[in-house]
Structure 1
Amino acid sequence: MRKLVFLAAIALTGVSGLSACSQQESADQAQQQVQAPVAKPTDPNDSAGWKKYLVEQVKQHMQGVNTRPYMYYVPGGDSDDAVSQRQNQLDNVSDVVARTVLPGNMMAFGGPDSAKTADLIVAAFKNAQPGSFKGVVVLFVGDAADQQRVADALKPSAAEFRFAQM
C-alpha cells in the first residue's frame, strides 16, 4: 500500500511538472504572437489600424523616454469630420507646446496622410519657445519627403527629433 501511495505521489508530481512546462510553452507562444510587428494599414480610413501602427512605431523608438508618451493620431482625408478632428488635434497640441513638456517625455505623431501630419507639427511648434523642449523626444511617423520640414520646425525648440518611415 505504501508503494502505491509513493508511486501515485511521483506520478502526480510528474504530471504537475509537465503541465507547468506546457503552460510555459503556451505563454512563450503568446508572447511571440504579441510581438509580431503591426503592418502599415493600406486603408487610409482604418483609424483603429493606424492607431495600432502608431503604437508599434512608438514602442520601437522609446529609448531615452522615461514616461508614457503623448501619442497624436492625425486623421487623413478632407471630409468635414476629418478637418474638424485635425483642427481639434492642432488646438490640443498647440496648448501642450505652449505649456511645454518635461524632459524624458515623448510626443509622437502619425496618421495616414504624412503631409497633413507634418503640417500639424509645423503649425503646433511655430510658437514654441527656443530651447523649451530640450530633453523631449518628438517622433514623426511619416514619409521622407516631409522629414526635413518637420525637423526644421522643431529645431528652435531643441526637441530631439526622431523619424520613422511609413
Structure 2
Amino acid sequence: MNTLSRLLVITCLALPFTACKKEEAPKVEAVAAVPLPASGEQKDWVPYLQYKLTPHMGGITNSPYVYFLPMPDSEDFAGKYERQVEKLEQDLGRGITEGNMLVFASPAPEKEVEMIETAFKSVGAGTMKGVKVVFIGTPILGERVKAAVEPAGVNYIFEEAK
C-alpha cells in the first residue's frame, strides 16, 4: 500500500509536467512586397494600398477613407480633382473621429498634396486626435503633408512610394 501511494503521488505530480506543452511562437508568414503600380487605374492600386496599409491598421475601427487621384493625363482629371477636394473638405467638415484613417495615394502625388494642403487649412488645431493620416509618396512631398496635417493633431504616417 505504501508503494502504491507513492506511485500515485508521483504520477499526480508528474502528470501536469507531461501534459504541459511549451507554447510555440505564432508563425509569421512573410508577405511578398507589392510593387508600385505603373498604371493610374485605381483598381491596379488596390493590392499595393492593402500591402502598404496593413501594418498601420492597429486601432482602426472603420474602413479607411481613401483619396486617390488618377494620372494627370486621364480623362476629366480636373473634374476628378475638384470632386476629391470637395469630398475631402466635406469629410473633414463633418469631423473625423478617433479610430479612423485617411489615406492619400496617387500617381499624381503633387496634386494630391495640393488637395491635402487646401482641405486641411480649415481644420481646427487638435480636432483630429486619434486619427491616422497615411500619405504614400516621396519624402519631400511627405514633409509638406506633415506640415499641413499635424496641426490638426493627427497621427501622421509617411510611406514611401516604391
Q: TM-score, normalised by structure 2?
A: 0.74
- The equivalent residue for 1:115 is 110
The gaps in structure 1 that reach 5 residues or longer are: 1-31
Matched, 1:127 2:111: no
Per-residue deviation, 1:78: 4.3
Tell me the CA shift for residue 86 of structure 1. 1.3
Describe the SS at the equivalent of 2:150: helix
Count of aligned positions? 133
Tell me the equivalent position of 1:101.
96
Deviating above 4 A after TM superposition, structure 1's stretches of 4 or more consecutive aligned residues are none
Scaled by the length of structure 1, the TM-score of the pair is 0.72
Superposition CA RMSD, Å: 1.9
Give secondary structure in 1 for the equivalent of 2:76. helix
3-state secondary structure, aligned to 1:156: helix
Percent sequence identity over aligned pairs: 30
* Structure 1 letter corresponding to 2:34: V
The residue aligned with 2:33 is 37
In structure 2, relative to structure 1, the CA distance for the partners of 1:79 and 1:68 (3 Å cut) is closer
Contact 2:120 2:149 in 1 (8 A): yes
Larger radius of gyration: 2
User: Aligned equivalents of 1:68 and 1:93: distance in 2?
Assistant: 15
Tell me the SS of whatever aligns to 1:71: strand
1:76 deviates by 2.6
CA distance in 2, matches of 1:49, 1:79: 15
> Which residue number in structure 1 is paired with residue 10 of structure 2?
none
**Aligned equivalent of 2:81:** 86
Structure (1/2) with the larger helix percentage: 1
Deviation at 1:73, TM superposition (A): 1.3
